[in-house]
C-alpha cells in the first residue's frame, strides 16, 4: 500500500482555512471523484482505493492518504495535484 504524507504551513484563521480546505476538496472531487465530509477539524475523503484526511492544525495542514494497488500507480499525479491546490489556496 502506498501513502501520501504532506505537511503544509498556513497563516489563515481557522474559518478561512476550513473554507480553503473545502475548496481543495471540491477540486479533488472534480478531478478524482472523491467523496468527503468534515469530522471535527479533519476533512475525511475517500473513493475506491483511496482513503485519507486533511487535518487542520494551528498554522499547519496535514494531508494523509492511503492508496490501494491501482491508485498507487497514480500517486505522483494525485500528490502533485494536492500540492498544487494547497499552494494555490494557502
Predicted confidence (pLDDT) per residue in 31-73, tens digit: 878 899 999 999 999 999 899 999 999 899 999 999 998 888 8
The average confidence (pLDDT) of the chain is 90
Q: How many domains does the chain have?
A: 1
Question: Could you tell me what percentage of the chain is helix, strand and coil, using 3-state DSSP and rounding each to the nearest 5?
Answer: 40, 40, 20
Q: Taking Cα atoms as reference points, which of 15, 90, 10, 82 lies closest to residue 45?
A: 82
- We report the CATH number of the domain holding residue 23 as 3.30.310.50
pLDDT at residue 8, as a whole number: 94
pLDDT at residue 40, as a whole number: 94
- The pTM score is 0.84
Q: Give me the domain span that covers residue 10.
A: 2-89
- If 0-12 CB within 10 Å is exposed, 13-18 middle and 19+ buried, where does residue 67 land? buried
Amino acid at each position: 500500500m502506498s501513502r501520501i504524507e504532506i505537511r503544509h504551513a498556513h497563516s489563515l484563521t481557522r474559518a478561512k482555512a476550513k473554507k480553503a480546505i473545502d475548496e481543495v476538496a471540491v477540486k479533488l472531487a472534480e478531478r478524482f471523484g472523491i467523496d468527503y465530509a468534515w469530522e471535527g477539524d479533519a476533512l475525511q475523503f475517500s473513493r475506491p482505493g483511496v482513503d485519507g484526511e486533511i487535518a487542520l492544525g494551528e498554522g499547519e495542514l496535514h494531508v494523509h492518504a492511503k492508496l490501494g494497488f491501482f491508485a498507487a500507480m497514480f500517486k505522483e499525479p494525485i500528490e502533485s495535484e494536492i500540492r498544487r491546490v494547497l499552494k494555490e489556496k494557502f
